[in-house]
Each structure stands twice: as C-alpha cells, then as structure tokens.
Amino acid sequence: MANLLTILRMLLCILAIEFIFSGRPDLVVSALFLTLFVIVLDGLDGIAARAFNEQSKFGSVFDIIGDRVVESLYWIGFAVLGWVAAWVPMVVVTRAFITDGLRSIALSQGYTAFGSSTMMKNKFMHFLTASRFSRAVYGVAKTLVFLMLIIAHVPNFDDFNPLSIEQYLAYCHYHSTLVTCADILVYITVFMCIIRGIPVLIEGRKYIKNENN
C-alpha cells in the first residue's frame, strides 16, 4: 500500500506539472490542489507502511526516490517557467545526488536514511536531518513554497484585464506581494535543504572509510 501511494504521488506530480505548463487558469488552479494532495500523500505513505507493517529497506529507499522525483520536477518546472532562478534546481538536485549516494553506501552496510537503523548516529546530526520534526518542518516549507509559487502566478498577469485603473493598481500590489513572499520562501527552503544535507556529508565519511577498509 505504501509503495502504491508513492507511485501515485509521482504520477499526480507529473500531471500537476503538465497542468501548470498548460497556461490555462482552470488547469493551473487544479494543479494547486493536486500539489497539495501530492504532499498529503507524502505523509500518508509512511503512516500506511506502519499500519500495514510494510516497513522495509526497499520501502525506505523507494520513499526517498518518490521525494526526489516530486521535489526535482517541481523545482525544474518552476525554473523552466522562470518562476525561480536556474541555480535553485541545480543546488537541490546536486544536494540530492550527493546525499543519496552516501546513503546508498550506508545502506550497503545495513543502515537506512531514517528509522531505527538510521545512518545518523550523532544525536544532533540526527535531529537536523532524520528526526520527524526536521522532516516535518522541511515538508511544510516545501508545501508553502510550491503552493505560493503557483498562487503567485494565477491568474496570468499578462492576461489580466482590469475594469479600472484602481483595480489594476490593486492587482499590481497584490501580485508583487505574492511574488515577494514566494521568493523569500524559496530562499528559506533551499537554505533548509542545504543545512539538512550537511549532516549526511559529515556522517557519511565513516561509511566511506568502512567501504575502503
């Protein structure tokens, strides 16, 4: 069940991105709700794994794969549309490759990214990266920034026909505020992404040494 939910959220993510690229206001709004549902599924797959006793190393890895697919597709899509700078997906994807590479080495030695057999043995490092609190805060940050970026670009500013100059000015102020808030959230989320990756780099060194011994 948990793995099916992971597959479902990846498919819905692709559909949401397609809706966003359509440029149709109704589909972009639909993408907004699909995005929210995709993020809800991210929490449900873990609950389902525990409820159906489906916790396994494969499930842990597949859950991370789902996270990477969803996160990367949104950031790359936003960059292609010009909603975020190109360096944002570059940083996020590079961080993902590095940390997941280290996690794969740890997995070969019997340690997982999260859970009781986590590779993060230092308590502070574990709190920053593998704790439920850290993962929840980062998940909320991604939720807010993804939704805010979509909201900030609906309706399309170029297609907006105000009835009066007052409405036009009000819309300009409203749109500018949304874009500014979205930009701030982008920086916060990317900063959190980097900070949460550093402990994996530090802890991962010992697993590399074990691999070479």
| 196-211 per-position pLDDT tens digit | 999 888 888 888 877 6
**Number of domains present in the structure of the chain:** 1
The structure tokens 């490092």 sit at 125
Instruction: Report residue 54's pLDDT band, with 50, 70 and 90 as the boundaries.
Output: low
pLDDT at 89 over 90: yes
* Pick from 26-35, 73-82, 150-159: least confident: 150-159
Task: State residue 212's pLDDT score.
Answer: 65
User: Which CATH number does the domain housing residue 119 bear?
Assistant: 1.20.120.1760
Query: In the predicted model, what is the mean pLDDT of residues 32-48?
Result: 80
| Cβ atoms of residues 203 and 125 within 8 Å | yes
Q: Percentage of residues in the chain with pLDDT exceeding 70?
A: 80
Query: In the predicted model, what is the mean pLDDT of residues 11-40?
Result: 90
d(CA 19, CA 16): 5
Query: CA torsion 112→117→119→125, rounded to 10°?
Result: 120
Can you give the three-state secondary structure of 97-111, one letter per residue? HHHHHHHHHHHHCCC
Instruction: Report residue 213's pLDDT band, with 50, 70 and 90 as the boundaries.
Output: low
d(CA 196, CA 138): 9
Task: State residue 28's pLDDT score.
Answer: 87
**What pTM was computed for the model?**
0.83
Element (H, E) at 57: helix 57-81
- Domain hosting residue 176, numbered range: 2-212
Q: Which two tokens stand for residue 55?
A: 């916790």
| 132-186 per-position pLDDT tens digit | 888 889 988 999 999 999 988 875 544 545 555 555 555 566 677 888 889 999 9
